[in-house]
Structure 1
Amino acid sequence: MADLSEEALSEYYEIVSNMFGSEDEGFQFYNNYALEKGSSVRKSYVEWDNDNRDLLNLRKFVCSREGFRESKYMKNGNRKRKARNISRVGCRARLVVAQVKETGWWYVKDFIDEHNHPLATQELACMLRSHRRICEEQKVSIVEMEISRILKHQIMDILEMRYGGFDIVGCTDRDIYNFSYSYKRETIAAARQDKDPEFFFTYLVDADGHLNGLFWSDSQSLLDYEAFGDVVIFDSRCRTNRYNMPFVPFVGLNHYRSTVIFGCGIISHETSEAYEWMLQTFSADMAQKHPISVITDGDLAMQRAIRVVWPNSNHRLCGCEFKEDCLYGISGSCRKLECIGTPCSHIFYVLRILEVDELLKCCIPDRWTMSAKSASPPTRKNNMYDYSTSLGRYRELRNLSHATSSRASQCIESFPCFKRVLQEEASSTLSNVRNERMRYGPVLPQMVQVDSAKVLDPLHVKGQGALRKD
Structure 2
Amino acid sequence: MELAMIESCVPLNDNDLQELGDSSNSKEIDTPQVGMHFPSEEEARDFYKKYAQGLGFGISKMYSKKGDDGQQKYISYGCSKNGKSVYKGKSSFYPRPCSKTDCKARINIKVQDDGLFLINSIHLEHNHPLSPRKSRHFRCNKVLDSQTKRKLELNDQAGITLSKSFQSFVAEAGGYENLSYDERKCRNYVVEARRLRLGHGDAKALNNYFCRMQSRNSDFFYTIDVDEDCRIRNIFWADARCRASYEYFSDVITFDTTYLTNSYDMPFAPFVGVNHHGESVLLGCGLISSEDSETFIWLFKSWLTCMRGRTLIIAYVFGI
Provide the secondary structure at the position in 1 that maps to 2:63.
strand
Aligned-partner SS, 2:147: helix
Q: Which residue is equivalent to 1:158?
A: 168
- Checking the alignment, whether the CA contact within 8 Å between 2:56 and 2:130 is kept in structure 1 is yes
Letter in 1 for 2:138: L
CA drift at 1:165: 1.0
For the residue of structure 1 that corresponds to 2:184, the secondary structure is helix
Q: Deviations over 1:156-193 (max 9, x none)?
A: 11110111111212111111111112222223299422
Please show how residues 350-369 of structure 1 align to structure 2 within 5 Å: none
Give the Cα–Cα distance (whole angstroms) in 2 for the partners of residues 179 and 150 of structure 1. 15
Look up the match of 1:66. 82
Deviations 1:266-291 (CA, angstroms, capped at 9, x unpaired): 9xxxxxxxxxxxxxxxxxxxxxxxxx
* Counterpart residue identity of residue 87, structure 1: S
Q: Distance in 1 between matches of 2:3 and 2:178?
A: 32
- Name which one, 1 or 2, has greater alpha-carbon Rg: 1
Could you tell me how far apart the structure 2 residues matched to 1:179 and 1:32 are? 24
Equivalent residue number for residue 178 of structure 1: 188
Superposition map of 1:35-434 within 5 A: 35-49=53-67, 51-52=68-69, 54-70=70-86, 74=87, 76=89, 82-101=94-113, 103-122=114-133, 124-188=134-198, 191-193=202-204, 242-243=258-259
Q: Which amino acid letter does the alignment assign opposite residue 49 of structure 2? A: N
Letter paired with 1:113: L
Given that 1:127 and 1:167 are in contact with CA atoms closer than 8 Å, whether structure 2 keeps it comes out as: no
Q: 1:84 to 1:6 in 2, by over 3 A?
A: closer
Contact 1:62/1:93 (<8 A) preserved: yes
Indicate how the Cα distance of structure 1 residues 75 and 57 shifts in structure 2: closer, same or farther if over 3 A, else same: closer
Per-residue deviation, 1:154: 1.9
SS in 2 for 1:16: coil
**CA-to-partner distance for each residue in 1:271-315, whole Å, 9 max, x for gaps?**
xxxxxxxxxxxxxxxxxxxxxxxxxxxxxxxxxxxxxxxxxxxxx
For residues 144 and 153 of structure 2, what CA distance do their matches in structure 1 show? 12
Specify the code of the residue in structure 1 equivalent to 2:53. L
Cα shift readout 1:15-54 (whole Å, capped 9, x = no counterpart): 32321011111111000000000010001111111x31x2
- The SS at the match of 1:58 is strand
Name structure 1 gaps, 5 residues minimum.
198-204, 210-240, 250-265, 267-452, 455-459, 461-470
TM-score normalised per structure 2: 0.55
* Preserved CA contact (<8 Å) 2:105 2:126: yes
Amino acid at match of 2:73: N
Look up the equivalent residue of 1:31 and give its one-letter code.
Answer: K
Task: State yes or no: 1:21 paired with 2:39.
Answer: yes
Between the aligned partners of 1:150 and 1:93, the Cα distance in structure 2 is: 43
Structure 1's 176 and 7: CA in aligned 2 closer, same or farther, altered over 3 A? closer
TM-fit CA distance, 1:109: 1.2
**Aligned partners of 1:24, 1:152: CA distance in 2, in Å?**
31
Structure 2 residue matching 1:44: 3-state secondary structure: strand
3-state SS of 2:104 partner: coil
Residues 38 and 117 of structure 2 are in contact (CA less than 8 Å); yes or no, is this contact kept in structure 1? yes
Instruction: Find the residue that maps to 1:118 and give its secondary structure.
Output: coil
What is the CA RMSD across the aligned residues, in angstroms?
Answer: 4.4
In the other structure, the counterpart of 2:51 is: 33
Residues 196/93 of structure 1: CA separation in 2 closer, same or farther (3 Å cut): closer
**Please, which runs of 5 or more residues in structure 2 have no aligned partner?**
8-28, 209-237, 243-256, 269-305, 308-316
Which is strand-richer, 1 or 2?
Answer: 2
Task: Give the paired residue count.
Answer: 210
With normalisation by structure 1, the TM-score equals 0.38
How far apart are residue 13 of structure 1 and its match? Answer: 7.7
